[in-house]
Chains A and B, each alone.
Chain A
Amino acid sequence: MPTKIEVAGLRKSFATDKGTLGVVDDVSLQVGDGEFIAIVGPSGCGKSTLMRMIAGFIPPDSGRILIDGMTRTEPSPQGILISQHGSVFPWLTVQENLMFGLNGNESTREKIASADHYANIVGLKGFESSYPHELSGGMLKRVEIARALAVKPAILYMDEPFSALDALMSLRMRNELRKILGQERHTVLLITHDVEEAIHLADRVMVLSPRPTRIQATFEVKMPHPRKLTSPEVQQLRVAILKELGVESED
């Protein structure tokens, strides 16, 4: 498996009134092409900062980010960021949102066809002309994912994508994301505080330390999809990851 993302020696600190605040401290990682990596860590540990650096939105103080062996300095449609609060444009219809990223030379008809195709994939058929405020939180998340998929990005950066949804909807979206990844090949970097979500979706789970954050442990998840969350392997892994995070399990 060729390396898609290579991060080496990434550091970031912010200046505050009380002096410099180290946020990310020497993070290195490699993500293979088509691999699904989940990064879990305590809240406020610098997960989002790390993700935004890798996606090219903020520059690191030191270290480098290589995508396909090329240095990444700014965001690109090759890697789409999906964040917790979402960024579906409320003034555009679902279809217009899905067409937003299509900047190529395709004709309008081809763009509409492509938008409708992805609306269909995420189960939004029939809602193409709806406005976001007419949709539920789960459907909005689908629009966000479909808009990202429509530009066929090599990488999806997902920053707590489902944490604003209720538990049931979050589980449903996880299953659908897995189904989509079965059809379309993407490298995924997922940030989450939900250990179960990480095990459910990822090929590898990386555990971050408290701030300034670094990678504290990495777990391979070898079970085939679809994964059964009640299986003993999953439970064992969950206990081990939680232990890394400093949470002793109840037994």
Chain B
Amino acid sequence: MSRLRQSLPGIAIIVLLIGAWWVSVTLTRSVIFPKPWQVVTGTVELIRDGTLWMHIGASLGRVGAGFSLAVLVGVPLGLWMGWMRGAYDTLNPLFQILRPISPIAWIPIAILWFGVGNASPIYLIFISSVFPMIVQTVAGVHTIEKRYLRAAENFGVSRYKLFTQVVIPAVLPQIIVGMRIGLGVAWLVVVAAEMIALRSGLGYLIIDSRNAGNRYDLVIAGMIIIGLIGLLLDGLMRLLEGLKIVRWRYAH
């Protein structure tokens, strides 16, 4: 009951916005901007002919590939940089320069290197989500409380045990935060990347709908679907925070 009451204002503002949209399109008699109902019928159309699933699948596949690659590179690299002072001093300045470069700026180079196939967007996703994960993982290693490291030193454990039972579990909550940020950015970037030259994906759907006959109902449908899937992906990452091995970080 209280949860329902909590989500009520959030739902109300969305309903209000849709109402205002409907009224203003009706009043201005716009021929291009669709009414909310047209967006719904447009979406149904996409579902019927199966293209919606194809576009969603293509976008998720690219995000999955680029993001997985970023996890595989970013987490070990972050652990290494966090643990080894020399690695940090060597790589951190470079990464701090690369990090603020928008993935959009990489598009020309990505096309040059990887062409206009799937590799380009995957590379863009990789480059955009790898840095947040490195940064979070490094911060995680740097903030391990000394008393835990001291205890490990005291018990004289092997390097392997130090890493598997102390360092990695201690950093895991931060790694998950990095993954959440990384996946969020990845999803943001896939749409931009797909606007370039591919023939599938939600970004392509949006650009193609505009180019092929000003189908703004499908443009807005695509935008809303992107938003909803982004919400879903973040929800999935939040499930990781409930894992038993990291619950200590959030339980108080």
Contact = CB atoms under 8 A, between A and B. Distances in A.
Interface of A: 55, 57, 75-77, 79-81, 83, 85-87, 89-92, 96, 100-101, 103, 131-134, 151
A100 B154 contact: no
Interface in B166-200: 166, 169-170, 172
B155 A103 contact: yes
Given A131-B248, A133-B248, A101 B147 contact: no
A103 B156 contact: yes
Chain A binding site: helix, strand, loop or mixed by DSSP?
loop
A103 B157 CA distance: 7
B148 A87 contact: yes
25 contacts: A75-B150, A75-B154, A75-B156, A76-B154, A76-B156, A77-B154, A80-B154, A80-B155, A86-B147, A87-B150, A87-B151, A89-B148, A89-B151, A89-B166, A91-B170, A92-B165, A96-B165, A100-B157, A101-B155, A101-B156, A103-B158, A131-B247, A131-B248, A133-B251, A133-B252
A149 to B, nearest CB: 12
Given A76-B156, A92-B169, 10 more contacts: A75-B153, A77-B155, A79-B154, A81-B150, A83-B147, A85-B147, A87-B151, A89-B148, A100-B157, A103-B156
B161 interface: yes
* Chain B, interface residues (CB within 8 Å), range: 20 to 34
A87 B248 CA distance: 14
B76 to A, nearest CB: 19
A101 B157 contact: yes
Contacts of B153: 57, 75
A91 B147 contact: no
Interface in B207-252: 244-249, 251-252
Q: Which of A75, A77, A132, A134 has the most CB of B within 10 A?
A: A75
Contacts of B156: 75-77, 101, 103
Nearest 7 pairs between A and B by C-beta?
A90-B248, A91-B169, A87-B151, A101-B155, A87-B147, A133-B251, A75-B154
Contacts of A79: 154
A91 B150 contact: no
Contact of A57 (B150, B155, B165, B172): B150
Nearest to B249: A90
A77 B161 CA distance: 15
Contacts of A80: 154-155
A79 B150 CA distance: 13
